[in-house]
Amino acid sequence: MNKLATTFTGLEFVNPFVLASAPPTESKLKILKAFESGWGGVVTKTIGLHPVENVAGPKTIYQRTSETKPYVSRMKRTETVSHSSWNWELISDKPLDLWLPDLEEIKTTYPDRMVIASIMAGAGSDEEMDNWSKLASACVNVGCDAIELNMSCPHMDRKDMGANIANDEDIIRSVLGAVTSAVSVPIWVKLTPSTSKLVDAAGAAYESGASSISLCNTFPSLPLMDPETMKFEVEVDGLVTSGGLGGLAILHQALQRVSDISKAFPDEAISGIGGIRGFREAFNFIVHGAGNLQVCTAAMEEKGSGGIGIKLIQELKHDLSDYLEHKGYSSIEEIRGIARHRVVEHSQVRRKSEVYNGGYSIAS
Ligand SMILES: Cc1cc2nc3c(=O)[nH]c(=O)nc-3n(C[C@H](O)[C@H](O)[C@H](O)COP(=O)(O)O)c2cc1C
């Protein structure tokens, strides 16, 4: 019996590990190699209909730290460990027409692996709403198993796109309306972690037909400046913009966001993302309620794998399988969400003395 098999949003996954929408899933060749290596699914690099032109410099850097000199930097040093990725890459620059035959071939070659098409359009007009439907229909028509709506890209100039729209529940409802009326596959909604209204946004998405929330995209952030050279570690002509932080550095924040949603909507599905680089991080997402796990930075960083995490997926599968076996669990469902009720209000945690009243005076 395959203990790693999961049913998530009605889809059968051979294992719960999925490559997130990013460079590891930007091309047919990479996706085919990822499936050959054992990944249970992929969310494609986000596909859109508007023109994309990336910055004239590196799109992603990998930041590391070390015990001897524990600062964070992309600079090459000996004996460092990974801290994070930082990127300002836009969505796929490959047009939909080129994606479609590739998606069809991928799905035909690996019918037992899940292909989720990540899509993004604007929100400022009826035409943009139609674009969401067009993208979704086109991807489903060539065999994609689900759609992930990108409402989370942290570096969009357009105010009606990416993370900029995830604060607006009306827009979330309209986009879901457009997509659910066009296709009948599961719809995952990828939200930005950088909003104080995340639970409301997730609620609006679930109510409007989302099968799952994918969380987190990268956190809006700036690269560091080197004190000697006075240059940012990534810049173009001396300029930077806010980009996205991913990798281990965001694990704890991502878990907190997943926990918030899982507590508010315990019966709904969540795909957990942010800082997964081994079994222990994946385990933490599962106990907070995630039934599916997406990985980006750790796969990109793996040397010799073409940025798709060949060793990583072997380790993830082996270590999760081993854990389930030695604990006597039949699948991740037996541990999913078990930490939910143990995340409480601050005042619900025992004090040394009885006199604490949540910060208020005790009524006389
Ligand atoms: C270079 C790069 C490009 C990315 N592009 C996309 C994208 O096109 N669409 C999307 O939804 N997320 C994108 N992401 C975000 C990842 O899918 C993921 O949510 C994030 O990196 C957190 O996961 P991690 O900590 O495993 O890296 C990108 C991330 C990186 C590093």
**pTM (predicted TM-score):** 0.97
Q: CB neighbours (10 Å) of residue 309?
A: 27
> Given this model, what pLDDT does residue 70 score?
87
Distance 59 CA to ligand 1 centre (A): 12
144, 153, 216, 296: the catalytic one is 153
> Given this model, what pLDDT does residue 364 score?
57
The 10s digit of each residue's pLDDT in 105-145 is: 999 999 999 999 999 999 989 999 999 999 999 999 999 99
* Lining residues, ligand 1, CB within 6 Å: 20-23, 45-46, 60, 85, 87, 89, 91, 118, 150, 152-153, 190, 217-218, 246-247, 250, 273-276, 295-298
Distance 148 CA to ligand 1 centre (A): 13
Q: Which two tokens stand for residue 6?
A: 């999961």
Instruction: Name the 3-class secondary structure at 31.
Output: helix
User: How does DSSP classify residue 9?
Assistant: T
> Given this model, what pLDDT does residue 73 score?
94
Give 41's Cβ-side CA count (13 Å radius): 30
Q: Which two tokens stand for residue 18?
A: 């999925």
Mean pLDDT within 299-307: 97
Q: Which of 119, 122, 212, 131 is nearest to 178 (CA)?
A: 131
Looking from the CA of residue 299, the nearest atom of ligand 1 is: 26
Whole-number Cα distances in Å, 254 to 219, 250, 259: 9, 6, 9
Q: What is the average pLDDT score of the chain?
A: 95
Domain parsing of the chain, residue ranges:
6-348
Q: Is 216 a catalytic residue?
A: no
Contact 241, 223 (CB under 8 A): no
Mean pLDDT within 75-89: 93
Q: Which band of pLDDT confidence, cut at 50, 70 and 90, is reported for residue 80?
A: very high
Q: Is the pLDDT of residue 344 over 90?
A: yes
| Ligand 1, atom 10, residue with closest C-alpha | 21
Q: What does the H/E/C string look like for 247-313?
A: CHHHHHHHHHHHHHHHHHCCCCEEEEECCCCCHHHHHHHHHCCCCEEEECHHHHHCCCCCCCCHHHH
> Given this model, what pLDDT does residue 158 score?
85
The 10s digit of each residue's pLDDT in 231-244 is: 999 999 999 999 99
Q: Is the pLDDT of residue 288 over 90?
A: yes
Instruction: Tell the burial category of 111 from Cβ atoms under 10 Å away from its Cβ (0-12, 13-18, 19+).
Output: exposed
Q: Does domain 6-348 have CATH number 3.40.1190.20?
A: no
Count of residues for the chain? Answer: 364
Distance 301 CA to ligand 1 centre (A): 13
The 10s digit of each residue's pLDDT in 206-234 is: 999 999 999 999 999 999 999 999 999 99
Q: Is the pLDDT of residue 262 over 90?
A: yes
Percent of the chain with pLDDT over 70: 99
